[in-house]
Chain A
């Protein structure tokens, strides 16, 4: 941080000097002071040097990662099938994908388990390099974070109790209670969807998805909202209790990993690795293993629809 600041000031000095320099040309007479200023301006105008250094300093996370040999990442390990902590071992789609990405980059990945509410603050506080929790790409979030190319489908869908015959399509939740995780884009999509239904939907917000699915099993709510891959996995794990309501009701959206806006070179390197894994079939085999089927993903960061 200090280094970045130190590097930034010469560039700004360069700008002001530039303005003064114009004035001295107008006068066509150089006092000693002006000569000094001009000298400094020329020095700053070698400028590219500073501009370059600054960009390199602000954007040196990639170099730092390579030097360390470790890409440090964080996620909440409570998001199956993406992030699972199985008897203390980190597993899931994100784990397999980030390991492959790190290998492409010639480094090792380290993983930190943080509650979701701490993940993005931790990224901003530079406690780690990359958030590998799947984050839905939205317009609002794009202003604050750098998204990688999509790693999975994030279209919002509903899950009900397996024995509940009253919900056969998404519109059937009219007049019923639905729960979801606070602060997720899927919950926001549910609210927009519910507003268009003939009868009001009672929406309950939970700290995490576990509590929503626990309440669904206990009969306190009639459905939960989440991304289709998460729900498909949950329904598969407890097929006696849960079933997915098809088709998904939400706009097509995607999950990406996120980094800091200034770490462009790191995000570019990760994107290149993800695209390569997509092309060589690694992505498809990970998808088949965890989702049961392979889904084609965009190779660039798509324009968010929500």
Chain B
């Protein structure tokens, strides 16, 4: 073991970790927005919207993220649509994560007892208020643990964006390994950075659960 290898490249690793965090968080946020829309389509009363949501989920969950990335970055360029690397990276992460997030949200909505919506209707709540005050708060509470897991998975999957030339954590660890011929030290350092970031994500998740009052968090 030669820890000085890592100390020499520490600022390089920190910058790469910042890139990983930035790309992943952008992917998570856009993914959540798209995922919420897809979920809304999936539980809509209109059959064509339900079908469109299902098709979206099948496609973006069924095609590997790497293929989606290469498609957006290289294939579209062949047809004159030159997507910048960072847009391709965040876009692919968001589009694919949205499919998973939509299903998590749908599962959570289904887990809210049916009687609650009926009771709210009986009490005279309007349709919008039922969603806003009864269904969504509970669904969000139920979906927090699987959503955090999805965020952590996405953060780790973000290592794939190096194929479009973004210097994220895994890529930089590989660069350091090849420069120093010390793969063990380089990958260990990269792994520790991922662990640290994901522990923060998990802590944020635990905080959110307490705020939302998820029963098991008490």
Report which A residues bind B (CB closer than 8 A). 1-2, 74, 77-80, 84-88, 112-115, 117-118, 121-122, 125-127, 208-211, 213-214, 234, 237-238, 241
Give 11 A-B contacts (CB < 8 Å), ordered by A residue.
A77-B178, A84-B178, A85-B175, A87-B9, A112-B165, A113-B167, A114-B164, A117-B163, A122-B74, A208-B178, A211-B183
| Interchain CB contact under 8 A, A118 and B174 | no
**Cα distance, A87 to B179, chains bound together (Å):** 9
Which B residues lie within 8 Å of A77 (CB)? 175, 178
| Interchain CB contact under 8 A, A115 and B178 | no
**Cα distance, A208 to B74, chains bound together (Å):** 22
| Interchain CB contact under 8 A, B15 and A88 | yes
Which B residues lie within 8 Å of A80 (CB)? 178-179
Which B residues lie within 8 Å of A126 (CB)? 77, 82
- Other than the known A77-B178, A79-B178, A214-B183, what 12 A-B pairs have Cβ atoms closer than 8 Å? A78-B177, A80-B179, A85-B175, A87-B8, A88-B9, A112-B165, A118-B70, A118-B164, A122-B74, A127-B74, A211-B183, A237-B180
Instruction: With CB as the reference atom, state the residue of chain B lying closest to A233.
Output: B181
- Total A-B pairs, Cβ < 8 A: 83
| Interchain CB contact under 8 A, A209 and B178 | yes
| Interchain CB contact under 8 A, A88 and B12 | yes
Which B residues lie within 8 Å of A208 (CB)? 174, 178
| Interchain CB contact under 8 A, B163 and A115 | yes
Interface size on B, residues (CB 8 A): 29
**Cα distance, A211 to B183, chains bound together (Å):** 8
| Interchain CB contact under 8 A, A1 and B80 | yes
| Interchain CB contact under 8 A, A78 and B77 | no
In the complex, how many angstroms separate the beta carbon of B209 from the nearest chain A beta carbon? 38
Which A residues lie within 8 Å of B164 (CB)? 114, 118
Instruction: With CB as the reference atom, state the residue of chain A lying closest to B177.
Output: A210
**Cα distance, A77 to B70, chains bound together (Å):** 20
**Cα distance, A300 to B164, chains bound together (Å):** 33
Which A residues lie within 8 Å of B184 (CB)? 214
Q: Mark B1-31, 1 if CB is under 8 A from A, else 0.
A: 0000000110110010000000000000000
Which A residues lie within 8 Å of B70 (CB)? 118, 121
Please give me the 10 A-B residue pairs with the lowest Cβ-Cβ distance, nearest first.
Answer: A78-B178, A125-B77, A88-B12, A85-B175, A214-B183, A87-B12, A114-B165, A125-B74, A210-B178, A84-B179
- Tell me whether A210 and B80 are in contact in the complex, defined as CB-CB below 8 angstroms, given that A80-B179, A87-B9, A112-B165 are known contacts: no
Which B residues lie within 8 Å of A1 (CB)? 80
**Cα distance, A85 to B184, chains bound together (Å):** 17
Which A residues lie within 8 Å of B77 (CB)? 125-127
Which B residues lie within 8 Å of A125 (CB)? 73-74, 77-78
Which B residues lie within 8 Å of A117 (CB)? 163
Which A residues lie within 8 Å of B171 (CB)? 113, 115
- Tell me whether A113 and B15 are in contact in the complex, defined as CB-CB below 8 angstroms, given that A1-B80, A79-B178, A85-B175 are known contacts: no
In the complex, how many angstroms separate the beta carbon of B71 from the nearest chain A beta carbon? 11
Which A residues lie within 8 Å of B68 (CB)? none
| Interchain CB contact under 8 A, A118 and B163 | yes
**Cα distance, A1 to B174, chains bound together (Å):** 36
**Cα distance, A209 to B174, chains bound together (Å):** 10
Instruction: With CB as the reference atom, state the residue of chain A lying closest to B16.
Output: A88
- Tell me whether A86 and B163 are in contact in the complex, defined as CB-CB below 8 angstroms, given that A78-B174, A113-B171, A210-B174 are known contacts: no
Which B residues lie within 8 Å of A113 (CB)? 165, 167, 171, 175
Q: Mark B67-88, 1 if CB is under 8 A from A, else 0.
A: 0001001100110101000000
B214 within 8 A of A: no
Instruction: With CB as the reference atom, state the residue of chain B lying closest to A78.
Output: B178
Of A114, A209, A237, which one neighbours B163 at CB under 8 angstroms? A114
Of B80, B172, B174, B176, which one neighbours A2 at CB under 8 angstroms? B80
Which A residues lie within 8 Å of B174 (CB)? 78, 208, 210
Which A residues lie within 8 Å of B11 (CB)? 87-88
In the complex, how many angstroms separate the beta carbon of B157 from the nearest chain A beta carbon? 16
Which A residues lie within 8 Å of B176 (CB)? 85
In the complex, how many angstroms separate the beta carbon of A242 from the nearest chain B beta carbon? 8
Which B residues lie within 8 Å of A213 (CB)? 181, 183
Which A residues lie within 8 Å of B183 (CB)? 210-211, 213-214
**Cα distance, A114 to B184, chains bound together (Å):** 22
Which B residues lie within 8 Å of A2 (CB)? 80
**Cα distance, A84 to B179, chains bound together (Å):** 6
Of A74, A86, A121, A237, which one neighbours B181 at CB under 8 angstroms? A237
